[in-house]
Amino acid sequence: MYNYFYLLPKTLNVIKKEILLYYLVIAICSSLWPFNILIFTLSALFFLLLIKNTSHVEKTVLIIPFFIFFAFSLSISNQTKNKWANRSQIQNISKEEKLIIFFLEPCPSFYKYVKVRIEKKQINVLVYVTPEFNSPPKYADRFMITNLKSMQFKNRNPGQKKHPNFELSKSTSGRIHTKKVSQLEKGKACPIKQMAFNLRTSIIKLYQKCPLPEETALLSSLIIGNKTVSLSKQINSTYKKLGLTHMLVVSGSQVALLSTLFFTILRTVTRNNTITLGMIALFQTIFYFITGGGISLFRAIIFNFLCLFNKCCHKNLNKTHIICLTTMCLLIIDPFMLFDIAAQLSYAATLSLLYGVPAIASIFYSEWSKEKKEFLSVIIAPFLFTSPLLWVHFYTIAPISLVSNGIFMILVEIIVVIGFITTILGLLGLPFATLILTGLLVVIKGVNTVIYKLSDIPYATFSLSPPPLYVVLLIYALMFTGLYSLKNDKTKIKKGCLTIIMLLVSWAFFNNILPNRYYTITFIDVGQGDSTLITTPLKKNILIDTGGIQRGRNSTKIIAENTILPVLKYYSINKLSLLLISHYDQDHSGGLKFLNKTLAIETILDNSNPTKIKFKQKMMPPQSQIQLGKNATLTQLSPERYNPGESKNNNSLVCKLDIGKISFLFTGDIEYNIEQKLIKKLGNSLKTTVLKVSHHGSKTSSSAQFLNISEPLISVISCSKRNRYGHPNLQVVERLKKKKSIVLRTDKNGAILFKTDGKKLYYKTII
């Protein structure tokens, strides 16, 4: 068996690197079913041309990867079809059906990662359990679930990414909600998995003895990838802002660090390669299950094992071969890995270390030390390789990550090594281990303090609208070409690639800030609440209301954080010129505090409620106008002053946006009596093109007389699906339809987007 290990590098070294890369690219393309048949045909034609003028030996060598690819394509095709079939089966599940689930691991959110047996097949799904399990389940326990409902998510706002490929990339075929759970039997897991799970439980108990719970949760995530303890929102948001999210999870760097440490210890004990590699494989397998696994970790383990095998056996195995083999193995296991953001970032970071660091190090001054060059290159290369992906997926660029990674990169490695060794000592029962862990937590607390200070630096990160996919692919192609020219000292190519990359990035950047002739008005789907974004041609951004707060059984979600902020990032909005709060009901102002802390806001205007003065800068005087552009004004119509004798709803700000011949009327939550006052006061001035229907379509508003005066061509109702208030009222909807007004609803249509130049009005809905 041992001799077979030596066959791999000999075979790979005969196969040309370019040929293996070609088959990898074709294999990746073949996973994009149903195009795999076409791609396979083209690759076969290419293969025939390739072997036409080669010797018998070369033909034999080329045939090996070709047949590997043939088997690979069939595997991917079958897996892809099966996953789509499983997804369809989950979506069409009946309420009366009974399923057996195999518990895997809890998460801090509502979902439990489980396997479900359906018609003798095991399918990965996410199960949302209400209420929670009666007793904490253990690994591989079996449960019966009934009263089922398939949970189907759709993109409801600009920039959202809840699509089928995203869910399938998480190795799941769907989501199920259940209210009834009954335990069938205790699980019988694989011995290695059970040992890893028991070790994980013991480590968590050890950490729970330590003080500083927030820092303990961070250390637990860093060492064993503990998902059962939820990190605070402040830690998550701050680390994400500084480009340090890799510090919150077990990543490839931890695998490499700990495996190399274990390898070094083993080599001091034995020089037997079989024992060393066997122990490394066992260690990495247990470590994989302890940390909960994941595609990025699996890639790191395979890649690291092959690198250590190469080092252990003194074989000159090219790292390009290793990464190609790793990718092909992972794609065979799960072709939807292509759509996994974590996998994409993991590969980008790995490629940056393999190819980016040596090339970048070559451009520094020759008199600099090797260590200094490598240190700077290790900071710069991952930033360059991962930034395009962060841009296209999260709409952000974080220049501060160059500084933050430089400061904390070495420190994190030290924390991981000390934390891992101390954890082992703690499991062995040594009393001083807890003391060392406590000291480590104090260091982490200091690190967090510095990180919070760094996050307050202006423009530490900024948002940019995502570029077209071809721009990102072109940037990567030019980046690799440029790095190749750096390594081979090809000055003309180097300068050309750098120039084109700078032009592409500049074009994408200035495309976001240069003026155009359209005003855009986006009614954001915030569920049961209101929030409207107005953007002028000169990139002034006005937000009317901030949505509410969604309270669940185990968590509270601020809609502004989870919905509005991603929309602002998608539109490259880093600053608000004006924030209007119609009134202080929770569903209209619940996100005010968050946005006030998160964004730069020039002016906040409200209805002059004296109890909310801490958020207010000033109030718009009655009938005052804000000039938004050449032919655009925002006018306050009501109230003249805050009236404590009226309800919150009737103290709502009523504003009208006029853009040339097009107008929008925003009515807050006003009721009949305020509508009547506006009719008497303004009359036909209330006529509008688009009406934001008051109070989510409640029966207390939108009287026939008000609709007769306003004559809206389009009516927008902001409400959530199946809300407990029964919004919108059916009579209100009927009144709007009788006026031949087009009714658009966020519960049915998702976000509603309008675009106008003052002469023509265009609209579209997300759903």
Q: What is the mean pLDDT of residues 609-633?
A: 66
Q: What is the pLDDT of residues 240-274, one digit of tens each?
A: 777 777 677 777 777 888 888 888 888 888 888 88
pLDDT given for residue 365 in this prediction: 72
Question: For residues 289, 290, 291 and 293, what is the CA-based torsion angle, rounded to 10 degrees?
Answer: 0
Single-letter amino acid, residue 125: V
- Reported pTM: 0.75
Q: Are 346 and 251 in contact (CB under 8 A)?
A: yes
Give the distance from CA 17 to its chain's centroid.
34
- Considering 26-30, 137-141, 365-369, 616-620, the range whose residues carry the highest mean pLDDT is 365-369
Closest CA to 563 of 392, 397, 391, 750: 750
- Give 193 or 736, the one with higher predicted confidence: 736
Closest CA to 696 of 533, 548, 543, 555: 548
545: exposed, middle or buried (Cβ count in 10 Å: 0-12, 13-18, 19+): buried
- Give 227 or 478, the one with higher predicted confidence: 478
pLDDT given for residue 116 in this prediction: 58
Question: For residues 255, 257, 258 and 260, what is the CA-based torsion angle, rounded to 10 degrees?
Answer: 110
Q: Are 578 and 606 in contact (CB under 8 A)?
A: no
pLDDT at 331 over 80: no
Neighbours of 63 (CB within 10 A): 12
Q: What is the pLDDT of residues 683-702, one digit of tens each?
A: 888 999 999 999 999 998 88
pLDDT band at 6 (very low <50, low <70, confident <90, very high): very low
Q: What is the pLDDT of residues 207-218, one digit of tens each?
A: 888 888 888 888
Question: CA–CA separation, 739 vs 708, rounded Å?
Answer: 8
CATH class, range 519-765: alpha beta
pLDDT given for residue 132 in this prediction: 57
pLDDT given for residue 107 in this prediction: 46
**Extents of the domains making up the chain:** 2-90, 93-188, 470-513, 519-765
Question: CA–CA separation, 101 vs 114, rounded Å?
Answer: 6
Q: Are 384 and 359 in contact (CB under 8 A)?
A: no
At residue 755's C-alpha, the angle toward residues 749 and 760, to 5°, is 115
pLDDT given for residue 664 in this prediction: 97
- Considering 63-77, 281-295, 321-335, 606-620, the range whose residues carry the highest mean pLDDT is 281-295
pLDDT given for residue 486 in this prediction: 66
pLDDT at 734 over 80: yes
Question: CA–CA separation, 615 vs 606, rounded Å?
Answer: 9
93-188 CATH fold: OB fold (Dihydrolipoamide Acetyltransferase, E2P) (2.40.50)
pLDDT at 35 over 70: no
254: exposed, middle or buried (Cβ count in 10 Å: 0-12, 13-18, 19+): buried
Q: Are 91 and 152 in contact (CB under 8 A)?
A: yes
pLDDT at 324 over 90: no
pLDDT given for residue 317 in this prediction: 66
pLDDT at 178 over 80: no
- Give 585 or 430, the one with higher predicted confidence: 585
Helix/strand/coil for 479: helix
pLDDT given for residue 510 in this prediction: 61
Q: What is the pLDDT of residues 702-728, one digit of tens each?
A: 899 999 999 999 999 999 988 888 889
pLDDT given for residue 642 in this prediction: 72
Q: What is the mean pLDDT of residues 459-469?
A: 77
pLDDT given for residue 709 in this prediction: 92
